Structure 1
Amino acid sequence: MRNMMTYDLMETARVTSQWMGATAQAMGSYPAMGLVANPAYQLMSAWGEVAQRSFERMVAKPDWGIDTVTGSDGRDLVVTVECALKKDFGDLIRFKVHGRDPMARKVLMVAPMSGHYATLVRSTVASLLPDADVYVTDWHNARDIPVSKGKFDVEDYTLYLAEFMQHMGSDTNVIAICQPVPLALAATAWLADVDPKSQPRSLTLIGGPVDPDARATEVTDFGHRVTMGQLEKTVIQSVGFKYGGAGRLVYPGLLQLSSFISMNLDTHTKAFQDQILRVAKGEAGDNDRHNKFYDEYLAVMDMTAEFYLSTVERIFKQRDIARNAFTIDGKAVDISKITDVAVHIVEGENDDISAPGQCLAALDLLTGLPDEMKTAHLEPGAGHYGIFAGSSWRNNIRPLVLDFIDEASGRSEATPRPGNPKANGSKPAPKIDDTGPTPV
């Protein structure tokens, strides 16, 4: 599976399917076909439109699509995305709101690198922008990174997070979602040892596998079921000749997507059948609910082989974070050294990816942190995506997180860290009703 021809074969199949969709759409759309009473041509055109769009989106990075935010005076303020710190495997980006004074809350959102782009947290970012200055980790597609840039594994990922935190300063409030939760915890512990004054003010951990064995899910069962050798032989491929990372070993996005879809094949099949009928009837829109969801869902990115394999081995199999045995370049990362970073855990009652208890395990590792600086919330009835991008997030979790950040800010100003200038006394920004977009 490691040769380039296998990777290029998948890309060839994707391009061919995209071409077939475009061809079917064009043929079924000829004016002369309108003279035929049989609706087959309309269905052929509709199938082609849906197929062409779907296969085209698989290799396109989605736009953030956050152009404005409502200010405290009711005016729409222009939002632009700026690169705050550029790195080979991922950038730190900032959503700059023009015409607005710096906010009291500064948030670093650590987006997952688990097959989709950082835009997966678009609605989360949009919901926080009225109340905070928001920065996001924007991970790069491994297929576009030349082999000469070297490796990128869980240790490198953790060091990237630590560098992003150092760049932003100690008044940062980190929100980590899903996959990066254990590594965000490790990055904070790393800073507690090597650069304490650069630790973030608070750490919100949402639905991540700190201890995958705390409660079993299909994801954890898979991690225990397969061997590292099996994974390496069956899912790792070399990037083909078409992209800048030609020759780099990766877990291909297209292969990941096939796994995602197979987990809920019946649901996805019905969704596409219904969309084809809507297109044929003229009831579909370019930005309707189906397209909004699948434009994001189908946009997948390659992960470096070493990152994927080290995540499975060290986070799920060996449970390095859960055992407080994680190391970077042979140096131990002791989570108990976190002593003055407020930590808040968010879990969903019906989370089938990171089940309740997996993220909560972080609190037991924080033996050096006072109990009054540890909080947790279990959202009733919420699934995995709901705890950061659905109505549960907007209506219940988001207000709790903002209150937690404000409380941590007040505590930090009352007892500033040694070596740090006291944070400025700006008042928390007034809360604005969340009218963010419907989550994808």
Structure 2
Amino acid sequence: MHYHTYELTHAWLHPVRLMSRAMKAQLETPLNPFASTPLVRNVAAACEVFEGMTRRYGKPEFGIKETRVRGITVPVREEVVLGKTFCNLLHFDREGIAAGESGDPKVLIVAPMSGHYATLLRSTVQEMLGEHDTYITDWTDARDVPLYDGSFDLDDFIDYIIAFIRFLGPDTHVIAVCQPAVPALAAAAVMAADDDPCQPASMTLMGGPVDTRRNPTRVNRLAEEKPISWFERNVINRVPFPNAGFGRRVYPGFIQLTGFMTMNLERHTQAHMKLFENLVRGDCDSVNAHKAFYEEYLAVMDLPAEFYLQTVKTVFQDHALPNGRMMHRGRRVDCAAIRKTALMTVEGERDDICGLGQTEAAHDLCSGLAADAHHAYVQPGVGHYGVFSGTRWRTEIQPRIREMIRSVQSRRSTGQAATGAPHAHRAAPRAFAKVAAR
């Protein structure tokens, strides 16, 4: 019912948006002798703010056209190298540099399936691209997947990660941002239990809910307070006609976006008030910066209901992975089986979505790793999005990930990969994190 109301409201507002757009064009035309008066500028600014707040934002583009490799500017081309029903494996091909021949490590960035598109990690890709052969999971909007293509749940998510890693082959380094931390860790555990030759060389978990009992946030408490039946009744809807996924049960992206917006409603309100003021003043740089952010932030996708409900139940309510009870296709997920995959965790000091310690909990679970295969880092002064984008990501976080990957590559090339010393790591990750955060 929520979805149909949303669609009807959007349709009802469509002619109003058109009138607003037309009024703005008439007010700002050079033929209008009053275009520069305060009243007209205020009305035109109000029309633009209204149009921006009520329109639907489509999937953004990565728009990465070039990068610098060893001081040389190289064109970049996006290509889908493996397609699946709910996800494409996207490769950022650095033209003129053959994959596998550059000597740069292969990196698989696992983007979250949590409402926003993979393009939210544009900055993450840009910084990795110069020195890594970079791939990313580009998840498909569930409302665009026909019902006859079947369902998609957390087990399928894990299977997709395993399939992508096997496709890329040995010596692949995995970076999981936010929600995929749990399925990525589970995928590594499943591959380790099978002694898969394509086990990841390293795995970096960034701001992920591995154990949400540690420093729970508002998001964590909401997931725990309500029974899973409440979520099924209140936030699961069927995709309305005429979308391709008509009839599919989904967790609509607009509901997820509403939740994110209300968490910081005052900040978003002030941002749009500031936009209005900048439009009146004609501050184009500030206006463009606002639009660039919100065109990404307001572009949302629907999640398959099976995946959403299973994730809430398994990760946020049962804490199945840290409790040792997580199952995948009838098998228990045992992170202690991981012995050949170096582990790094990255957290933001001010993260209000995944509290401090929730990602670092992965180190306690991976007790089969040697002490020198554990790396933990807490970035001071950043929230959730600052972990994978922005200045601190570029200047402080990414260089640490780069060095970790290079050190793992070096050890593997000389046959010195650490594969033992159970429980020897326990004091090391926290000590490293405290030093790094000073």
Tell me if both proteins adopt one fold, taking TM over 0.5 as the criterion.
yes
Cα deviation 1:363-402 (Å, max 9, x = unaligned): 1111222222111111222221112112221111111111
Aligned mates of 1:242, 1:51 — CA distance in 2: 26
Q: Which runs of 5+ in 1 are unaligned?
A: 418-440
Contact residue 279 and residue 287 of structure 2 kept, 8 A: no
Pairing 1:163-182 to 2, within 5 Å after superposition: 163-182=163-182
Which residue of structure 1 lines up, in the alignment, with residue 320 of structure 2?
A: 320
Pairing 1:50-61 to 2, within 5 Å after superposition: 50-56=49-55, 58-61=56-59
Report how many aligned residue pairs link the two structures. 414
Contact residue 141 and residue 302 of structure 1 kept, 8 A: yes
Residue 14 to residue 216, structure 1, CA distance change in 2 (3 Å): farther
The offset of 1:126, in angstroms, is 0.5
Which residue of structure 2 lines up, in the alignment, with residue 424 of structure 1?
A: none
Which of the residues 49, 54, 61 maps onto 1:63? 61
Aligned mates of 1:139, 1:36 — CA distance in 2: 45
Aligned mates of 1:19, 1:115 — CA distance in 2: 27
Counterpart of 2:222 in 1: which secondary structure? Answer: helix
Q: Percent identity?
A: 39
TM-score, length of structure 2 as denominator length: 0.89
Counterpart of 1:197 in 2: which secondary structure? Answer: coil
Which residue of structure 1 lines up, in the alignment, with residue 92 of structure 2?
A: 95
Counterpart of 1:135 in 2: which secondary structure? Answer: strand
The offset of 1:29, in angstroms, is 3.5
Residue 320 to residue 11, structure 1, CA distance change in 2 (3 Å): farther
Q: In structure 2, what residue type is equivalent to 1:60?
A: G
Q: In structure 1, what residue type is equivalent to 2:73?
A: D
If asked which structure has higher relative contact order (CA below 8 Å, sep 6+), I would say 1
The offset of 1:47, in angstroms, is 2.2
Residue 14 to residue 319, structure 1, CA distance change in 2 (3 Å): farther
Q: In structure 2, what residue type is equivalent to 1:61?
A: K
Residue range with higher mean Cα deviation, 366-375 or 4-13: 4-13
Contact residue 57 and residue 295 of structure 2 kept, 8 A: no
Contact residue 109 and residue 174 of structure 1 kept, 8 A: yes
Counterpart of 1:288 in 2: which secondary structure? Answer: helix
The offset of 1:406, in angstroms, is 1.0
Aligned mates of 1:229, 1:412 — CA distance in 2: 48
Aligned mates of 1:161, 1:108 — CA distance in 2: 9
Contact residue 275 and residue 284 of structure 1 kept, 8 A: no
The offset of 1:409, in angstroms, is 1.0
Kindly indicate whether residue 228 of structure 2 is the aligned counterpart of residue 206 of structure 1: no
Contact residue 177 and residue 388 of structure 2 kept, 8 A: yes
Contact residue 59 and residue 299 of structure 2 kept, 8 A: yes
Aligned mates of 2:227, 2:66 — CA distance in 1: 48
Which residue of structure 2 lines up, in the alignment, with residue 19 of structure 1?
A: 18
Residue range with higher mean Cα deviation, 362-371 or 99-108: 99-108
Contact residue 28 and residue 35 of structure 2 kept, 8 A: no
Kindly indicate whether residue 158 of structure 2 is the aligned counterpart of residue 161 of structure 1: no
Which residue of structure 1 lines up, in the alignment, with residue 194 of structure 2?
A: 194
Contact residue 111 and residue 176 of structure 1 kept, 8 A: yes
The offset of 1:13, in angstroms, is 5.0
Contact residue 20 and residue 48 of structure 1 kept, 8 A: no
Residue range with higher mean Cα deviation, 81-90 or 248-257: 248-257
Contact residue 18 and residue 53 of structure 1 kept, 8 A: no
Aligned mates of 1:369, 1:145 — CA distance in 2: 40
Cα deviation 1:174-231 (Å, max 9, x = unaligned): 0111111111000111111235111111001111000000111111111112221221
The offset of 1:54, in angstroms, is 4.2
Contact residue 223 and residue 316 of structure 1 kept, 8 A: yes
The offset of 1:173, in angstroms, is 0.5
Pairing 1:276-355 to 2, within 5 Å after superposition: 276-285=276-285, 288-355=288-355
Kindly indicate whether residue 48 of structure 2 is the aligned counterpart of residue 82 of structure 1: no
Aligned mates of 1:260, 1:18 — CA distance in 2: 24
Pairing 1:26-425 to 2, within 5 Å after superposition: 26-29=25-28, 33-35=32-34, 39-56=38-55, 58-72=56-70, 74-101=71-98, 102-194=102-194, 196-285=196-285, 288-415=288-415
Counterpart of 2:388 in 1: which secondary structure? Answer: helix
Cα deviation 1:226-247 (Å, max 9, x = unaligned): 2212211211111111311111
Aligned mates of 2:252, 2:392 — CA distance in 1: 32
